Each structure stands twice: as C-alpha cells, then as structure tokens.
C-alpha cells in the first residue's frame, strides 16, 4: 500500500460484498451451529432484539479474543517446554550410555585383578618361572588399579549427573503436561464463547445476521475515514524499511478472516497478523500481544509511525499495526475480517517500535 495522504479505502467494497455473502461470518471459524438460543434480556418468550444480540455477541467476542491470546501463550510455552524436554531426554540417554561404558571398563579391571590377586605377591614372585614378566604384569595391575580408582570416581560423578538430569526431565515433563492442560482449557473457553455467540446469532434471521456483520464493518470504515469516503493515512514515513515492509504485508491481508490461533497466510488472530507481517520483513516477533508489547522500544501514541505495534486494553489482549493518520490495520475479532480501524476505537495500552 502506498503511503500517500488521500487514498481510497482499500478493500472496502470487496469486504462489504464478502460480509454480505457470508451472513453468518462466524461459520468461517468452524463454529458449532444450532443448539438452543441463549436467554437474552426482553419480555418473557420474546426473542432478543438485534441490538441486544449485538451487544452480547461483541462481549463474547472480546472474551474469546482474550482467551485466544492465552491460547497462543500456552501454545508457545508448550512448544518451548517440548523442545527442552526432548533435549533433556537426549542428555539422559547419552549419560546412561557413558555410565554403562564406564561400568564395563570397571568390571574388566576388577576381573583382571581377581584373576591375578589370589596369592601373596612375594610368594607369587618366588614361584613365578618368569619373575621379570611377573613384575611387568604387577606394574600393569597397579596401573589398572589406579585407572580403576579414577573410573570409580567417574562412575559416581556420572551417576549423580544422570540422576540430576532425570529429575530435571521429570519436572519438565510435569510442566509440559500442565501447559497442555492450560492449552486445552483456553481452547475450551474460546469455543464456549464462540458457541454462545453463535446461539445468539441464531436467534436472528439470516438477513439480520448479514446486516449486523455489514453494519459492524461499515462502522469501522466510518471510524477509520472519519465519516468520509477516503482513507487519509497522512504522509509520515515508516521508521525503517522493515517497518514499511511489515505494513505492506499487513495491508495485503485486508479482507482475510479472523481465526483464533492462526498466523497466516490466509487467516489470522490479532497477534498472528502482526507475527506474520513482520516475518515477511525478516523479523520474528513474539507470538502474543502481551509479549509483543516488549518486542521493541516504547514510544508515545503521538510519536507513532507506520509499522509500529499498537497494543490495546489494560490486559494487552489486542494488537494492531499503525498505518498512519490515526489508523491501524488489525484482525478485529471472530466473525470479522482484517480491516482498518481508528486507533481511538479501543483504549491504547502502549505503542512499540520494532
């Protein structure tokens, strides 16, 4: 996307058609359809109004967005733990092989000493038909005994190290199991919110659902354009070539669906879009919005430049990329698509220059 002052709102018409054609846009997320409608405010027996449904669905989508970032964090933690556990298990196997070899050496020395140590050395020397040979063998045995002593010390040391590695591995595997449990819980929380939202949406007719999705996109467009028909991104340049490349990548994904846990190239969650876009610029960001808050230098919102990350909400559960002119590009929430949005549409927690 060229960074000029006045430009048509990229993808607006295409996005409007896509939203109209996908009346229940949430089906793109693999939601469970059907089921009883969730109770909503209103007279007993009356279905909730479109406004009531939208307010509750927006709340559920925000909760799902929060849970999605917890899911991403748990997934990244699990990957790291799995790698560490694999490394420790490899160290345990290598240490066991080394210990087995040392014990084999020790057994061989002990057997040689047993075979030669059944008679007093002075008597053996007098009776031996080859005293010089006996003395040579005795010296070898003494050397073997010294080596045996050193090997014993090595065996003890290796055993202690092996025990430590096994304990570390057991602890790491326990952490890994806990991370898997957290991941499953986060996924369940997301799906519960999405299912509740879908049941609410199912209380509306298809036309109402299509209208609500289109209305949401239209309101975002109006906020981004300040009620005009064109998008003014200003003329500030990106702070670096990489930031410009990351922004170009992000804007190229406008119209792509939000899918939790996804980081492109065809679907994204909020932090996944930032991760993918910066990867196209040769930079690997952390995977979650909370971690992305610390991925670079903090600047004030008034200093924001194209390509900067804008983290939203106190718990930092949402992130977008500054595009200029008080506008960000982001993956908004389940049921919506990557789009432009006013930076003032959500409370800003911080701005980060990568």
Q: Which residues are known catalytic residues? A: 270, 318, 330
What is the DSSP-derived secondary structure letter of residue 321?
Answer: E
DSSP assignment of 51-74 = HHHHHHHHHHHHHHHHHHHHHHHH
329: helix, strand or coil? strand
How far CA 325 is from CA of 39, 216, 301, 321, in Å, comes to 42, 21, 11, 12
What is the per-residue burial (b if ≥16 Cβ within 10 Å, else e) of 201-226?
bbbbeeebbbbbbbebbeebbebbbe
Answer yes or no: are the C-beta atoms of 61 and 138 closer than 8 Å: no
Q: How far apart are CA 167 and CA 354, in angstroms?
A: 39
Q: Quick count: other Cβ atoms within 10 Å of Cβ 13?
A: 10
Answer yes or no: are the C-beta atoms of 238 and 309 closer than 8 Å: no
48: helix, strand or coil? coil
For residues 316, 322, 328, 331, the Cα torsion angle rounded to the nearest 10 degrees is -60
């Amino acid at each position: 996307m060229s960074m000029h002052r006045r430009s048509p709102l990229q993808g607006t018409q295409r996005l409007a058609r896509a939203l109209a054609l996908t009346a229940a846009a949430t089906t793109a997320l693999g939601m469970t359809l059907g089921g009883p409608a969730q109770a909503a405010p209103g007279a007993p027996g009356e279905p909730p109004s479109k406004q009531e449904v939208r307010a509750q669905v927006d709340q559920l989508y925000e909760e799902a967005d929060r849970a999605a970032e917890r899911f991403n964090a748990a997934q990244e933690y699990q990957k790291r733990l799995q790698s560490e556990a694999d490394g420790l298990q490899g160290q345990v196997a290598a240490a066991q092989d080394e210990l087995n070899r040392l014990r084999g050496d020790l057994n061989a020395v002990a057997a040689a000493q047993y075979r030669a140590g059944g008679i007093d050395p002075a008597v053996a020397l007098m009776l031996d038909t080859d005293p010089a040979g006996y003395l040579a063998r005795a010296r070898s045995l003494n050397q073997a005994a010294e080596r045996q002593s050193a090997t014993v010390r090595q065996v003890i040391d290796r055993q202690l190290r092996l025990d430590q590695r096994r304990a570390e591995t057991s602890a790491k595997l326990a952490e890994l199991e806990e991370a898997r449990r957290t991941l499953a819980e986060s996924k369940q929380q997301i799906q519960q919110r999405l299912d509740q939202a879908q049941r609410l949406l199912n209380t509306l007719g298809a036309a109402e659902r299509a209208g609500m999705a289109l209305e949401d996109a239209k309101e975002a467009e109006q906020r981004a354009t300040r009620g005009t028909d064109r998008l003014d991104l200003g003329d500030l340049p990106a702070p670096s070539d990489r930031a410009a490349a990351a922004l170009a990548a992000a804007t190229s994904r406008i119209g792509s669906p939000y899918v939790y846990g996804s980081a492109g190239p065809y679907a994204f969650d909020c932090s996944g879009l930032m991760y993918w876009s910066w990867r196209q610029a040769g930079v690997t960001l952390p995977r979650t919005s909370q971690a992305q808050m610390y991925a670079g230098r903090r600047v004030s919102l008034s200093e924001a430049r194209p390509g900067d990350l804008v983290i939203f909400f106190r718990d930092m559960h949402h992130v977008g990329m500054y595009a200029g002119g008080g506008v960000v590009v982001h993956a908004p929430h389940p049921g919506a698509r990557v789009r432009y949005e006013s930076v003032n549409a959500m409370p800003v927690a911080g701005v980060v220059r990568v």
